[in-house]
Structure formats: structure tokens, C-alpha cells
Structure 1
Amino acid sequence: MKNFILYLILYLIIINFVTFFLFWKDKRRSKRDAWRIPEKTLLIFSVVGGSVGGIMGMKVFHHKTKHLQFSLGLPVILLFQVGIAAVAFFKFG
């Protein structure tokens, strides 16, 4: 069980870093009028565990802050993920 928790923490660190990087890259591309990362991709990375990285990317780079699906959606995704973690902790911990 300890290995599972270690791998989960490592996964969450990596996915949040990647999501943060994707928000940075998309913001950079938007300034250069270059090909953009689809919003669907940013949301998928947030749903699979990168919600903290997405929220941080929104705040640090002031990116997607006017889009309701991001400004409201990412905190809702994070709350859902925290709820799942709490249930799993109390049920299996």
C-alpha cells in the first residue's frame, strides 16, 4: 500500500507540472498567434489529476480566466478530486 501511495503522489506531481506547463505554453502561443493547445486537452489534463497545476497556470499566466469552464470548472474538478480522495482515505485508510 505504501508503494501505491508513493506512486500516486509522484503521478500527481508530474501531471500537475505537465498541466501547468501546458497552460504556460498555450498562453505563450496565444501571444504569438500560433497554433493553440485545444481547450479540451487542457481540461482533460486537469480532470486526470492536474487540476492544481491548471488553477496555478490560470492564476500565474492570467490565462483562460474569463472562460467559465475554466474559472469555475477547474475549482469544481479539484473539489471533486478532493472528495474522492477523502472517501478513499476513510474507506481504505
Structure 2
Amino acid sequence: MKKRLRVVYSGRVQGVGFRATVARFARSLPLDGLVWNRPDGRVELLVEGDEEAIARLLQRVGTSHLASGIESVDVHWEEPGGDLRGFVIA
């Protein structure tokens, strides 16, 4: 069953290759979505796919070199929209 997750990462997450790394991880999984820098210095991720693949993405981000810069993670499950195709850096 498809799920949709919105995640906002806070900390040292801009200017460190965060979006490119998340995109690389997501593209290696069967996931659709996008990741972008927010004006407030945080990074937002919107991802849709199988719940197990989403969990693997979050696990990879949380155990990668990016983890040391993450201060907090806000996670919000949403209804899948089916409007995302591929994975892009916005």
C-alpha cells in the first residue's frame, strides 16, 4: 500500500550536500518525491511509496554522514496523492 510522508529536517542541513544525498538514496529505492531547501534554513522532504521503502530511506539518512548535522526531525504522514513522479531536487 502506498504511503506519503513529509519530513522537515533542522540543523546543519543546508550547504552540506543534504538534498543531493537524500535524492541519491531515494532514487535507489522505488520512491517518488522531492526534497528542497526551506527559507528558514531547514530541508523538507516529501516522499511517496511503499512504507518499507520509506522506512529504508529514513534509516539511510539517519545513519549516513548527514546524521551529525541533523538536530531535529519532524515527521507527518499524509494521504498519498499519486501526483509525484520520480524523485527531484526542487
Instruction: Name the TM-score, length of structure 1 as normaliser.
Output: 0.27
Higher relative contact order (CA 8 A, sep 6+): 2
Instruction: Name the TM-score, length of structure 2 as normaliser.
Output: 0.27
* Max Rg structure: 1
